[in-house]
């Protein structure tokens, strides 16, 4: 199933993101998580890709296993910065041959620890070029998702440029977008308004990161520029070393965040699971009665 087609029908999307584990034990745990989350009948799941191509085989193998061993629609993330165009086409051909129809087209991060690192000659410099390459070489075989940043990507000068570059990815052929994690819904609403005013019509699915480990999420958030509200920081700091307390606060926050997003007509919710099912299951259980049967692609309630 192509995710773009599903979303165009007005289906409210629930999706889960996983990363490819490094060890057989990690893979076993991941598939236990997948089995638990499969029962929620998500619209799709996705598997991340190491920016430098480091997970090329592992991402491919997890995507293939999910496709072959479960009933789930799976999307492969693909980053372009460290690959030649020939390599990208080879990876995409392989996905096409195993029947994968959904790609999240990303640039990836330039490796911070290698100051002399340069992209291969003729590489795609931005995600937009990867979207163009996919459309040129594969037509409509793949439904293409792209990343978006309600608070701006760390390299973007401001939100106006953010929207301008995002629009270029959409015009190159992206069907939908998933946002970077955020904890302040007003930033998402402001960003979506700016996108709609700029003529961007595709669904922009909010990315939800349940906080279960404060130190870890604080680091992620500072790297990607996501603001954690001061009131939440203070609550979490008080219990920082009590894992279960942190989790309880993080889950409660995510439940309220998701309810507010649903009430404001979002087209779906994408959960960064970190390969664990516990928090996502608890959040889903608390919001499931509020999930609309259908929405329109502009975000409001509507019939499929």
Residues in contact with ligand FAD by CB under 6 A are 48-49, 51, 77, 79, 104, 106-109, 126-128, 147, 153, 155-156, 161-162, 165, 169, 178, 180, 207
CA 291 to chain centre: 19
Please say which residue, 205 or 246, places its beta carbon nearer to ligand FAD.
Answer: 205
Spell out the alpha helix ranges (H) of 74-213: 85-98, 127-138, 159-172, 185-197
Please say which residue, 125 or 238, places its beta carbon nearer to ligand FAD.
Answer: 125
Q: In 3D, which of 224, 216, 229, 228 has the Cα closest to residue 274?
A: 216
Min. distance of Cβ 240 from ligand FAD in angstroms?
A: 26
Min. distance of Cβ 148 from ligand FAD in angstroms?
A: 7
Contact in structure between 131 and 169 (CB atoms under 8 Å)? yes
From the list 17, 101, 129, 151, the catalytic residue is: 17
Q: How far apart are CA 58 and CA 27, in angstroms?
A: 10
Min. distance of Cβ 134 from ligand FAD in angstroms?
A: 13
Please say which residue, 125 or 242, places its beta carbon nearer to ligand FAD.
Answer: 125
Whether 168 is a known active-site residue: answer: no
Please say which residue, 11 or 181, places its beta carbon nearer to ligand FAD.
Answer: 181
Residue 248 backbone class (left: φ over 0; alpha: ψ -120 to 50; beta: rest): alpha
Min. distance of Cβ 136 from ligand FAD in angstroms?
A: 17
> What are the residues whose beta carbons fall under 8 Å from the beta carbon of 51, sequence distance 6 or more?
79, 81, 82, 108, 109, 110, 111
Active-site residue list: 17
């Amino acid at each position: 199933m192509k995710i773009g087609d599903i979303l165009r029908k007005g289906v409210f999307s629930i999706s889960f993101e996983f990363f490819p584990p490094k060890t057989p034990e990690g893979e076993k745990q991941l598939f236990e998580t997948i089995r638990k989350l499969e029962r929620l009948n998500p619209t799709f799941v996705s598997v991340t890709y190491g920016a430098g191509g480091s997970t090329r085989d592992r991402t491919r193998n997890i995507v293939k296993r999910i496709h072959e061993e479960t009933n789930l629609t799976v999307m492969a993330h693909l980053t372009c910065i460290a690959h030649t165009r020939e390599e990208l086409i080879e990876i995409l051909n392989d996905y096409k041959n195993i029947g994968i129809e959904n790609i999240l087209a990303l640039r990836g991060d330039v490796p911070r620890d290698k100051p002399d690192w340069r992209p291969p000659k003729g590489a795609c410099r931005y995600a937009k070029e990867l979207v163009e390459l996919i459309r040129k070489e594969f037509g409509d075989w793949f439904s293409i998702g792209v990343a978006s940043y309600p608070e701006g990507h760390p390299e973007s000068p401001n939100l106006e440029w953010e929207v301008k570059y995002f629009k270029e990815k959409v015009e190159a052929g992206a069907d939908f977008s998933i946002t970077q994690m955020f904890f302040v819904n007003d930033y998402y609403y402001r960003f979506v308004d700016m996108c709609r005013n700029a003529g961007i019509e595709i669904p922009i699915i909010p990315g939800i990161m349940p906080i279960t480990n404060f130190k870890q999420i604080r680091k992620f958030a500072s790297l990607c520029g996501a603001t954690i509200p001061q009131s939440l920081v203070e609550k979490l700091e008080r219990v920082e070393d009590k894992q279960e307390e942190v989790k309880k606060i993080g889950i409660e926050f995510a439940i309220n965040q998701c309810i507010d997003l649903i009430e404001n007509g979002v087209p779906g919710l994408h959960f960064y699971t970190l390969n664990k099912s516990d928090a996502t299951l608890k959040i889903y259980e608390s919001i499931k009665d509020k999930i609309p049967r259908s929405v329109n692609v502009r975000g409001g309630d509507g019939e499929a």
